[in-house]
Amino acid sequence: MLKKKKKKKKIEKKKKIEKKKKKKEKKKKRRIEKKEKIEEKEKKERKCQNEEDEEDLDEIIAPSQS
């Protein structure tokens, strides 16, 4: 009887630890995905900003050549 209870507790503890690990992994994965998404968004913004800067430079150079 006592051995069965100990064994059951041990199994429950293992399950609990596994559950925690899975939750931690899921959280880590989500955090990484969020970080990548933010980086991608910033990259797009920088690309757009660079294109706008180039257009501004073209406008500045063109009138001075005329």
Tens of pLDDT, residue by residue over 29-49, are 999 999 999 999 998 888 878
CA distances from 63 to 22, 55, 56, 58 (A): 62, 13, 12, 9
Say how many domains are in the chain.
1
Residue 31 belongs to some domain of the structure: yes
Residue 12 inside a domain? The answer is no
Residue at 27 is within a domain = yes
Higher pLDDT, 17 or 55: 17
Q: What is the pLDDT of residues 10-29, one digit of tens each?
A: 999 999 999 999 999 999 99
pTM above 0.75, yes or no: no
The percentage of the chain sitting over the pLDDT mark of 70, rounded to a whole number, equals: 85
**What range defines the domain where residue 24 resides?**
17-49
Q: Compute the distance between CA of residue 14 and CA of residue 7 in angstroms, rounded to an integer.
A: 11
Residue type (1 letter), 11: I
4 belongs to a structural domain: no
Which H/E stretch holds residue 1?
Answer: none
Residue 52: pLDDT over 60: yes
